[in-house]
Chains A and B, each alone.
Chain A
Amino acid sequence: MIRGRAWKFGDDVNTDVIMPGKYLAMRNPELIAPYIMEGIDPDFGKKARPGDIIVAGKNFGCGSSRETAPGGLKAFGIGAVIAPTFARIFLRNAVNIGLPVLECPAAAAGIREGDLVAVDVASGRITDETTGAIYHAAPFPPFLQELIAAGGLVNYARKRLGLA
């Protein structure tokens, strides 16, 4: 179970603001983690705490394919991202590296900034513990569920290569 405070963002949050281009040559996710969301809120990395949850509008993660965007969020310790829809490359990247992402328009609209939110990734159940509201994210298609259950693409590839 993931449990943390909600931070709200609007529609079409793009990867240039999640992780600006100047950090692209830095390969270590731990080093870029303090700069997440810098393009929208330069202080986010100071205000947010590991375990916190990002609740955003439609098309989260649009634009550049940079994996430092979901990678930075994961390295910071962001518990999950909840949005009505995700841009497709961001969604693939997040699933591949094991950053929990949940598609749920009702939760994205209903959860307020600062609410305490609990997420059960396996069932897709999202509980707003501040208001008591309960939401259910759309389940991923079975193929993606398998990939998530395998622990992401690295483990999936190891199995396909006969190494695990």
Chain B
Amino acid sequence: MGLTITEKILASHAGKAAVEPGEFIIARPDMVMGNDLSTAGAIGVLKQMGATKVFDPEKVVIVFDHLVPAKDIQAADLLKGVRQWVREQGIALFYDEGRHGIAHIILPEQGLALPGDLIIGGDSHSCTYGAVGAFSTGVGHTDLAGVLALGEIWLKVPASIKFTYHGTLGPWIMGKDLILATIGKIGIDGALYQAMEFRGPALATLGMSERLTMCNMAIEAGGKSGIIVPDGMTLAYVKERARRPWTVYQSDPDARYVAEYDFEITGMRPQVAKPFSPDNVVSVDEVAGTPLDQVFIGSCTNAKLEDLRIAARILRGKKAHAGTRLIVIPASTWIWNQALKEGLLEIFAEAGAAVSTPTCGACFGGHMGILGAGEVCLSTSNRNFVGRMGHPTAQSYLANPAVAAASAIKGCIAAPEEVGA
């Protein structure tokens, strides 16, 4: 019986020839990621464990994203404590203010997530790195401390679900639309404990930015991981970034899947997740005209350079609606600099947007665009649960950056063609 790419990666990191879904393994990761919040939590647990040193400072990357620049005194003290610990541990892969960005974008961008890797991240959206053909999953800060101390983690081998995308992408259809349609179809726990393997002729035409968005939201269907078998597009992406060797795994033709779903995307309309769940998905046409207090273009899901280019193409020479705030937060310092050079930040500024330095910001209700009571937002982020972006009575709709840009101009939810795009 054949193996999936997920089973092959897990077997190789557990020192086994093969593994089976449901099996418990002890695996050794290639890279461990902590962000400001999860690292701060892990530092306390490491003390309780009696661990004075991380297992290998070269396999640890620490990224400041949730609270940077420090939003208040509490955050400043938290960041200060993490900085000191990073210095003590001799961790060179440290993305502090000025180099910072959202971890899930920094790792692939900087060549720290590579095909065949096993990556454990102290954040739920660590499933993002599956886009380069890695097995990656999110954990809490006690697990993060455990893997930092021991260099190993227990994992239950997940069964895999195969998602195949057929057809041709229409204008303004992005990876966000494919993954929202997928989550809408299988539900918020449709892939609980399982690996989501994305493939198919339509997927093969998607660039890395779209693939990152799709794997990013695997967790929104309860998935343990999202993964895409590397192809020429993947290898071209990693070749210019990697600083260490990697391994390409394929899924065998006779690999086992617990379920298979097929999606025909020709003619698909942009998808929107309505409050209060990412699986509450409809076509943009069903919610068009919904008045908006705020549009947020940001987060690990949709604030990559390609996302900003698409938003800028629609916003160029136009203004955000007078009654609608537009907030743009590029996902990483590199992206911010590129967006500056390409004139994207100028387009956003002239459109009346508030453009910020990289941070998770409003996505998790932290800072930089919190919603007040009853306010309505359209966001390019990944979750729209009650209270996620601010007040419990605020509402968030989730969509792709093209829909976000068009909606900012109209002041209400709008398809891109409604603003002449």
> A interface vs B, CB < 8 Å?
12, 14, 16-17, 20-22, 24-27, 38-40, 42, 58-59, 62-67, 70, 85, 87-89, 92-93, 96-97, 141, 143, 147, 152-154, 156-158, 160-161, 163
Nearest chain B CB to A105 CB, angstrom units: 13
Q: B387 near A17 (CB under 8 angstroms)?
A: yes
Q: A40 near B386 (CB under 8 angstroms)?
A: yes
Assuming the contacts A21-B364, A154-B48, asked whether A87 and B192 have C-beta atoms less than 8 A apart, the reply is yes
Nearest chain A CB to B228 CB, angstrom units: 21
B72 interface neighbour in A25, A62, A161, Cβ under 8 Å: A25
A152 to B67, CA, bound (A): 29
Q: B193 near A88 (CB under 8 angstroms)?
A: yes
A25 to B360, CA, bound (A): 14
With A64-B124, A70-B140 known, 8 other A-B pairs at CB within 8 A are A38-B387, A62-B188, A62-B222, A65-B124, A87-B189, A87-B222, A96-B146, A154-B49
Q: B139 near A158 (CB under 8 angstroms)?
A: no
Q: A96 near B142 (CB under 8 angstroms)?
A: yes
Q: With a CB–CB cut-off of 8 A, which chain B residues contact A24?
A: 37, 66, 364, 366
Q: B140 near A88 (CB under 8 angstroms)?
A: no
Q: A154 near B142 (CB under 8 angstroms)?
A: yes
Q: With a CB–CB cut-off of 8 A, which chain A residues contact B38?
A: 65
Q: With a CB–CB cut-off of 8 A, which chain B residues contact A88?
A: 192-193, 222, 224
Q: Which residue of A lies closest to B188 (CB)?
A: A12
8 sample A-B contacts, Cβ–Cβ < 8 Å, listed by A number: A16-B383, A63-B385, A65-B124, A85-B189, A88-B222, A92-B140, A93-B140, A160-B150
Q: B142 near A93 (CB under 8 angstroms)?
A: yes
Nearest chain A CB to B302 CB, angstrom units: 18
Q: Which residue of A lies closest to B36 (CB)?
A: A25
Q: Mark B59-79, 1 if CB is under 8 A from A, else 0.
A: 000000011000110110010
B275 interfacial contact with A, CB 8 Å: no
Q: With a CB–CB cut-off of 8 A, which chain B residues contact A39?
A: 385-387, 392
> B interface vs A, CB < 8 Å?
24, 37-38, 40-41, 44-45, 48-51, 66-67, 71-72, 74-75, 78, 122-124, 138-143, 145-146, 149-150, 154, 156, 188-189, 192-193, 219, 222, 224, 277, 364-366, 383, 385-388, 392
Q: With a CB–CB cut-off of 8 A, which chain A residues contact B40?
A: 27
A33 to B44, CA, bound (A): 18
Q: With a CB–CB cut-off of 8 A, which chain A residues contact B189?
A: 12, 58-59, 62, 85, 87
Nearest chain A CB to B275 CB, angstrom units: 12
Q: B45 near A154 (CB under 8 angstroms)?
A: yes
Q: B364 near A64 (CB under 8 angstroms)?
A: yes
B37 interface neighbour in A12, A25, A143, Cβ under 8 Å: A25
Q: A16 near B388 (CB under 8 angstroms)?
A: yes
A67 to B388, CA, bound (A): 16
A143 to B71, CA, bound (A): 41
Q: With a CB–CB cut-off of 8 A, which chain A residues contact B139?
A: 65, 89, 92-93
Q: With a CB–CB cut-off of 8 A, which chain A residues contact B366?
A: 21-22, 24
Q: B388 near A21 (CB under 8 angstroms)?
A: yes
Assuming the contacts A17-B385, A88-B224, asked whether A65 and B123 have C-beta atoms less than 8 A apart, the reply is yes
Q: B50 near A161 (CB under 8 angstroms)?
A: yes
Q: A21 near B365 (CB under 8 angstroms)?
A: yes
Q: B222 near A59 (CB under 8 angstroms)?
A: yes
Assuming the contacts A14-B385, A24-B364, asked whether A67 and B192 have C-beta atoms less than 8 A apart, the reply is no
Q: Which residue of A lies closest to B189 (CB)?
A: A59
Q: With a CB–CB cut-off of 8 A, which chain A residues contact B145?
A: 153, 157
Q: B72 near A67 (CB under 8 angstroms)?
A: no
A141 to B143, CA, bound (A): 18
Assuming the contacts A16-B385, A62-B222, asked whether A157 and B78 have C-beta atoms less than 8 A apart, the reply is no
A154 to B46, CA, bound (A): 8
Which of B66, B75, B222 is most buried by chain A, counting CB atoms within 10 A of its CB?
A: B222
A39 to B387, CA, bound (A): 6
